Structure 1
Amino acid sequence: MPANILSDGFRRILKSGWKGLCPRCGQGRMFASWLKLAPQCECCGLNYRFAAPDDGPAFFSLCIVAFPLTFVVVWIQVAYSPPWWVHLLTSMPLMLLGCLLPLRPIKGWLVASQYVNRSVEAGTETLWNRMDGRDDNRFGD
């Protein structure tokens, strides 16, 4: 079995997304605030206009956390029939924290993945290049 199972690109996606760093240089900040992307990297000048994570972070957060946790909450209700305030003190904070905390790393991973994999919307690359006055160089490398 090879010692290096993860590719360099995948490692770069995980590292820059988790830490919120620029996927190109790994130094500058990707976020201006908690979930708002910076206009560009302050170190290398990478423009983040290419990034379109849209609703992806919320979707993955809900699928990874909220959906399985809903089964736990229903199980607690069926098995123990606790009063409503028990769910208010336990289930609600778990759902809120579980869904909100992973949003930033997931958004960072999606943006880094778009950069590393040079993803663009199908059929719009030529139009974007013409509008931005760019040649075939999609992301300012």
Structure 2
Amino acid sequence: MPDTDQLQKGQPPLWRAALFGLCPECGTPGLFEGAANFRERCPTCGFDSGRYNVGDGPAAFLTLIIGALLIVAALLLDAALAPPLWVHVILWVPLTVAAVIYGLRIAKGALLASEHQRDAAEGRVEKPDD
């Protein structure tokens, strides 16, 4: 696993690339276009994000974790203060949407940066010479 010292010049560490949506090649902001979609290419260095298969792998896992945490928080709030239902609606719906979208950006950014730093590619089977 590469340390910060082993990264090429300009490449941000994994945590910084994920947290701030930085290009894993040059470190400039703007990895995402829209809520959680990658840009086709980095406007600064031309990094091609389509080369890596990040997909929506983190989506289900992340949604389940965030959902569980927010349900616990909602139950604790209800037990402590017993607010009316409309308070729960205006509090938890936007918080859930924001947490899932920002969490997806972090998870997908981390996965893309990790694949780039390790030069990940599809596996290939070499056929033996006959």
Whether TM exceeds 0.5 here: the answer is yes
Aligned partner of 1:61 in structure 2 is 62
Query: What runs of 5+ residues in structure 2 fail to find an aligned partner?
Result: none
Q: CA deviation at 1:83?
A: 2.9
Aligned partner of 1:13 in structure 2 is 14
- Report 1:29-108 matches (<5 A): 29-78=30-79, 80-108=81-109
Q: Contact (CA 8 Å) 1:30, 1:37: kept in 2 or not?
A: yes
Q: CA deviation at 1:106?
A: 2.4
Q: CA deviation at 1:78?
A: 4.7
Query: What runs of 5+ residues in structure 1 fail to find an aligned partner?
Result: 1-5, 127-141
Q: CA deviation at 1:36?
A: 2.0
Instruction: Select between 104-113 and 58-67 the one with higher mean Cα deviation.
Output: 58-67
Q: CA deviation at 1:39?
A: 1.6
- Counterpart CA distance in 2 for 1:35 and 1:67 is 21
What stretches of structure 1 move > 4 A for 4+ residues in a row? 78-81
- Counterpart CA distance in 2 for 1:91 and 1:29 is 29
Report the RMSD for the aligned CA atoms in angstroms.
3.0
Query: TM-score, normalization: structure 1?
Result: 0.65
Number of positions where the alignment pairs a residue of Structure 1 with one of Structure 2: 120
Aligned partner of 1:131 in structure 2 is none
Output one character per residue of 1:28-63: Cα deviation in whole Å (capped at 9) or x when no partner: 632233322122223322221222222234235324
Answer yes or no: is 1:26 the counterpart of 2:27. Answer: yes
Partner secondary structure for residue 23 of structure 2: coil
Instruction: Select between 28-37 and 102-111 the one with higher mean Cα deviation.
Output: 28-37
Residue identity in the other structure for 2:38: L
- Counterpart CA distance in 2 for 1:97 and 1:28 is 20
Q: Contact (CA 8 Å) 1:28, 1:44: kept in 2 or not?
A: no
